Amino acid sequence: MSTLTLTINKQDYQLENLDARTTLLDVCRQHLQITGPKKGCDHGQCGACTMLINGRRVNSCLTLAVMHDGDDITTIEGIGMPDSLSALQQAFKDNDAFQCGYCTPGQICSATALIEEVKQNWPSHVSRDLQNPDGLLVQEIAERMSGNICRCSAYPNIVKAISQVLESQVSESNTQSTDNSKQRSSVTGIWSPPPSEAQLGKPPANNKTVNTQTATATTGGR
């Protein structure tokens, strides 16, 4: 194709004659030397390549660069640099929320969008109340971050870091009553799996296949 213009971290890049089959991840890493986003699986399974496109998190290994002419793309470099860390980056540092660090750029991009989603009251697959989800619950954070895999299993501290920033940034108008606040799970450093249907107070499902499909469609849609 002729000329493609990508806006990444507020900077415009012109790409001439780019092979239309090139992914956004490969353009960043191979053509533009923006190497914060990592290639883990290259198959949309690990989240290491997560970027924000128009504020929404996307696996950049699964999307073609030519689809993003004019989009506002943010990588970890646009979220913060060593001398200007975002609150979330600082929280990851303070809470030891990484070991090898390979998944961390994707985790932080994903969590940055997560915080905005919670502020906007978006429900998740484990939300009990779709109209007023409690995004501060550990189960909510774990579910919303389920597209980002950490091979070092730094999950407890990742959840702690995100929870710390959520607590400080999510406005009180988004929180429920004081009573509900008391019911929130505190972050103890131990990751909790999403609650079972029994814990959510739902009657046992008659058709497990339907539930499995629902879960797959919900968690796989990000």
Per CB under 6 A, residues contacting ligand FES are: 39-42, 44-49, 59, 61, 98-104, 150-152, 154
Q: Contact at 8 Å (CB) between 51 and 74?
A: yes
- Residue 23 C-beta: closest distance to ligand FES, Å: 9
Question: Which residues, 6+ apart, have CB-to-CB distance to 3 below 8 Å?
Answer: 14, 15, 16
DSSP lists the bridge partners of residue 15 as: 4
CB of 158 to ligand FES, least distance (A): 8
| Closest CB 155 distance from ligand FES, rounded Å | 9
Q: Which is nearer to ligand FES, 13 or 102 (CB)?
A: 102
Tell me whether residue 48 or residue 115 sits nearer to ligand FES (CB atom): 48
41 or 81: CB nearest ligand FES:
41
Residue 42 or 116: which CB sits closer to ligand FES? 42
Q: Which residue, 45 or 183, is less far from ligand FES as judged by CB?
A: 45
Nearest distance in Å: CB 95, ligand FES: 12
Q: Which is nearer to ligand FES, 42 or 117 (CB)?
A: 42
What is the chain written as a DSSP string?
--EEEEEETTEEEEEES--TT-BHHHIIIIIS---SS--SSSSSSS-TTEEEETTEEEEGGGSBGGGGTT-EEE-HHHH-BTTB--HHHHHHHHTT--SS-SSHHHHHHHHHHHHHHHHTT---TT-S-SSS--TTSHHHHHHHTTT---TT--HHHHHHHHHHHHHHHS-GGGS--HHHHHHSPP--SS--PPPPTTTTTPPPPS-HHHHHHHHHHHHTT-
Smallest separation, CB 156 to ligand FES (Å): 12
CB of 152 to ligand FES, least distance (A): 3
